[in-house]
């Protein structure tokens, strides 16, 4: 197990953003819908990607991953095991996106057995919308010994409402769109997620021959087809990684050019950065962030896209710890996603939690300490806090950050960060 040793750093220069993990994983799962070859480019080198590769190999795929390009083929049918529809717990337990195998497996192979997913400890994340959608498409779905077991002789299109207690669900939308692509007739998915990652998945499915319309809106229409073919596709830039570097620029008072991004995917993030006091100069595929002078306290609420992303809540919390005044953050996606609060407080911050809210009283400085990462995005927040803090900080359990950030310490070193990886 590794740790980061970080000293206060002034950052300078440019950073290139990698492909989106949250877009790549459902697209990788979608290759289960075809026996033909798929080529996926701009795939980030991450632990979660490696885990999904192992899952797909268990499910009968042959995969080459080199220079950020995935080539996915189907093994000869004679070599497929009878259990080729089972995604085992030992792999699925490490990340939630692996549950996206359920829909395509069911649609293509008429049966699926997928372990309930794991991932970051950020509160309750039920899969009820996934199961509801598949049942409405005609699948028989039962829960047995920690696995979701589904079967269907044929899936049939339906009008499905996918709204949940906290709004739309990205992964449930992905699962139902993929299952509906091979269903009989028309499926209408109401209250679908509008995230760019869903748009990207739909574009990939369309290249495979699927008939899907309405991506980026709350109503997606899927006209089922009999079969899908192979496709070539390029993964979109990672908007969460880009937003993380925006937060790093603000927290460390370091001007920074963030390249290889789609600014249209970051509207709410840019607005938050400007409200805090930063300046953001937008180009076609880059953002120049000038953190400006004194940071201002703001009220921030996480919401489904195009609202402010829950995956950037922790990183921007660090910025507000150094702002002048009192800020309020409201978490409306995962109300328990505040495991990082105690660790940031160890560094001298003043954060109080009250249910799904945190109240932040800005401080002039943070101070280095030994802190422990609890989840992927909390890890990034602690790294940002360490770069801004006086003295030395040790961030333990950084395997979390390796799940979602491609070579983050190398990118930070190129910006001038004093960061090194050591064995814990």
Mean pLDDT of 209-221: 98
Tokens, residue 328 = 């309020």
Mean pLDDT of 45-59: 94
Enumerate the β-bridge partners of residue 190.
161, 219
What is the DSSP code (8-state) at residue 171? Answer: H
Please determine whether the domains at 2-18+238-423 and 21-224 fall in the same fold group of CATH: yes
b/e for 140-149, b at 16 or more Cβ within 10 A? ebeeeeebbb
- With CA atoms as reference, report the closest residue to 99 among 10, 174, 183, 196: 174
- What interhelical angle do 47-58 and 21-30 show, nearest 10? 10
Q: Which of 46-50, 69-73, 144-148 has the lowest mean pLDDT?
A: 144-148
Give the pLDDT of residue 122: 44
Give the pLDDT of residue 257: 98
Q: Is the pLDDT of residue 118 over 60?
A: no
Q: Which is the catalytic residue, given 38, 100, 101, 120?
A: 120
Q: Within 13 A of 327's CA, how many CA atoms are on the CB side? A: 28
Return the percentage of the chain with pLDDT > 90, whole number.
86
**Structure confidence by residue, pLDDT tens digits, 273-292:** 999 999 999 999 999 999 98
Mean pLDDT of 199-216: 98
Q: Is the pLDDT of residue 149 over 80?
A: yes
Give the confidence band of 121 by pLDDT, cuts at 50, 70, 90.
very low
Give the pLDDT of residue 81: 53
Enumerate the β-bridge partners of residue 112.
150
**Structure confidence by residue, pLDDT tens digits, 64-107:** 999 999 999 998 764 445 457 888 888 887 787 789 999 999 99
Q: Is 120 a catalytic residue?
A: yes
Tokens, residue 59 = 């499910």
Mean pLDDT of 346-357: 97
Q: Whole-model pTM?
A: 0.95
Tokens, residue 311 = 């995956």
Query: Which DSSP helix (H) or strand (E) runs through 43?
Result: none
Mean pLDDT, the chain, as a whole number?
Answer: 94
Tracing tokens 């995230």 back to the chain, one arrives at 195
Give the pLDDT of residue 77: 63
Tokens, residue 100 = 């996206």
Q: What residue segments make up the domains of the chain, in order of their start? A: 2-18+238-423, 21-224
> What whole-number distance in Å separates Cα of residue 70 and Cα of residue 38?
8
Instruction: Spell out the CATH class of 2-18+238-423.
Output: alpha beta
Give the pLDDT of residue 74: 93
CATH 3.30.56.10 fits 21-224, yes or no: no
What is the DSSP code (8-state) at residue 236? Answer: P
Give the pLDDT of residue 424: 86
Return the percentage of the chain with pLDDT > 70, whole number.
96
Give the pLDDT of residue 96: 75
**Structure confidence by residue, pLDDT tens digits, 381-405:** 999 999 999 999 999 999 999 999 9
Tracing tokens 């953002």 back to the chain, one arrives at 287
E strands of 224-261, at which residues?
231-234, 256-259
Give the confidence band of 341 by pLDDT, cuts at 50, 70, 90.
very high
């Amino acid at each position: 197990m590794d740790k980061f040793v970080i000293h206060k750093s002034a950052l300078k220069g440019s950073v290139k953003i990698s492909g989106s993990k949250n877009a790549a994983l459902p697209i990788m799962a979608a290759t289960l819908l075809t026996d033909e070859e798929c080529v996926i480019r701009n795939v980030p080198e991450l632990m979660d990607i490696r885990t999904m590769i192992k899952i797909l190999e268990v499910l009968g795929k042959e995969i080459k991953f080199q220079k950020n390009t995935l080539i996915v083929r189907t093994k000869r049918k004679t070599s497929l095991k009878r259990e080729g529809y089972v995604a085992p717990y030992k792999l699925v337990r490490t990340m939630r996106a692996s549950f996206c195998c359920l829909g395509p497996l069911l649609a293509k192979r008429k049966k699926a057995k997928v372990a309930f997913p794991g991932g970051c400890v950020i509160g309750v994340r039920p899969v009820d919308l996934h199961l509801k959608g598949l049942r409405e498409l005609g699948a028989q779905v039962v829960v047995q010994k920690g696995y979701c077991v589904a079967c269907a002789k044929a899936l049939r299109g339906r009008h499905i409402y996918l709204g949940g207690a906290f709004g739309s669900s990205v992964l449930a939308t992905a699962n139902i769109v993929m299952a509906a692509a091979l269903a009989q007739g028309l499926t209408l998915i109401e209250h679908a997620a509008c995230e760019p990652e869903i748009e990207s998945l739909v574009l990939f499915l369309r290249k495979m021959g699927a008939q899907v319309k309405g991506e980026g809106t709350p109503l997606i229409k899927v006209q089922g087809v009999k079969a899908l073919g192979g496709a070539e596709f390029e993964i979109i830039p990672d908007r969460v990684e880009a937003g993380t570097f925006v937060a790093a620029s603000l927290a460390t008072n370091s001007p920074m050019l963030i390249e290889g991004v789609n600014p249209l995917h970051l509207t709410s993030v840019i607005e938050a950065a400007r409200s805090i006091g930063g300046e953001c100069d937008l180009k076609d595929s880059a953002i120049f962030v000038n953190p400006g002078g004194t940071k201002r306290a703001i009220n921030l609420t996480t919401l489904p896209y195009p609202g402010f992303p829950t995956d950037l809540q922790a990183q921007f919390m660090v910025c507000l710890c150094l702002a002048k005044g009192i800020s309020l953050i409201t978490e409306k996606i995962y109300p328990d996603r505040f495991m990082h609060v105690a660790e940031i407080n160890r560094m001298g911050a003043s954060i109080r939690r009250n249910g799904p809210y945190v109240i932040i009283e800005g401080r002039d400085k943070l101070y280095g300490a030994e802190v422990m990462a609890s989840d992927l995005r909390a890890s990034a927040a602690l790294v940002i806090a360490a770069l801004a803090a006086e003295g030395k900080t040790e961030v333990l359990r950084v395997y979390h950050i390796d799940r979602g950030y491609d070579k983050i310490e190398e990118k930070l070193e190129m910006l001038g960060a004093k960061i090194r990886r050591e064995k814990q």
